[in-house]
A and B are shown apart, each in its own frame.
Chain A
Amino acid sequence: MKVTVKYFAVCHEMLDRSEEEMQLPEGATVQTILKRLEEEWPEIAEFYEVMQMSVNWEYATEKTELTEGDEVALIPPVTGGSDV
């Protein structure tokens, strides 16, 4: 199956791209994507503790199962708004 993976903020910077299409085996989960990214960017594992993932605009976990056409995103700790 094919999914779109989006990268924001520090992830965008570290991976040097904002999104890509990934071909995944049937039964793949968010974890499958994280493992694949870890091969390219080992330091990403340090971020996993604080990073969240989303699938189709909803927060997800590593165990969330994926289906064809899903939009997955790596969500670094959010810092919107203002410091007040």
Chain B
Amino acid sequence: MFKITTDVITGAEVREAVVAQDAGAVVLFFGTVRNNTAGRPTKYLEYEAYPPMAEKKMAEIADEISDKWGIHRVAMIHRVGKLEIGEVSVAVAVASPHRKDGFEACQYAMNRLKQIVPIWKREVWADGDAEWVKPDAVFFEELPERT
């Protein structure tokens, strides 16, 4: 399951998408809306996505995980629209025979999601200002070569 949604994410949707008889571990990650960025209070966040491309890129990340770890059961869901503090913006589930690979693959999935999946976050500050979030410097180093 690779999905962009406007619905509340519970985690059940991604867990159920990956459970398997031969899996000894299901690693589940939730990204949640924090009440501040670098100490500045956040009122809420707005997420926007390019859904068909985002879902395609999520599926590609799962293919990468399949190549690297031989793990074939990965699910990702990302919510868009207005999200309040504490709500879940993204959930990733990875089912694997053993937990070590599952944790690594889940971490990898989130890192890649933040690099190649077209989703954008707009921060609305408690003081009323709002801005589209710029990624950190690491992002720019990892951009594909441009010609």
Binding site for B on A (CB under 8 A): 6, 8-10, 12-13, 50, 52, 54, 57-59, 61-63, 73, 75-84
Contact = CB atoms under 8 A, between A and B. Distances in A.
Contacts, number: 93
B147 A81 contact: no
Given A9-B120, A61-B146, A77 B50 contact: no
B52 interface: yes
Nearest to A6: B50
By secondary structure, the B interface counts as mixed
A81 B114 contact: yes
A78 B119 contact: yes
B115 interface: yes
20 contacts: A8-B120, A9-B132, A10-B132, A52-B146, A54-B50, A54-B53, A57-B56, A73-B50, A73-B53, A75-B118, A76-B120, A78-B118, A79-B119, A80-B89, A80-B120, A81-B31, A81-B78, A81-B114, A84-B31, A84-B110
Interface string B36-51: 0100000000011110
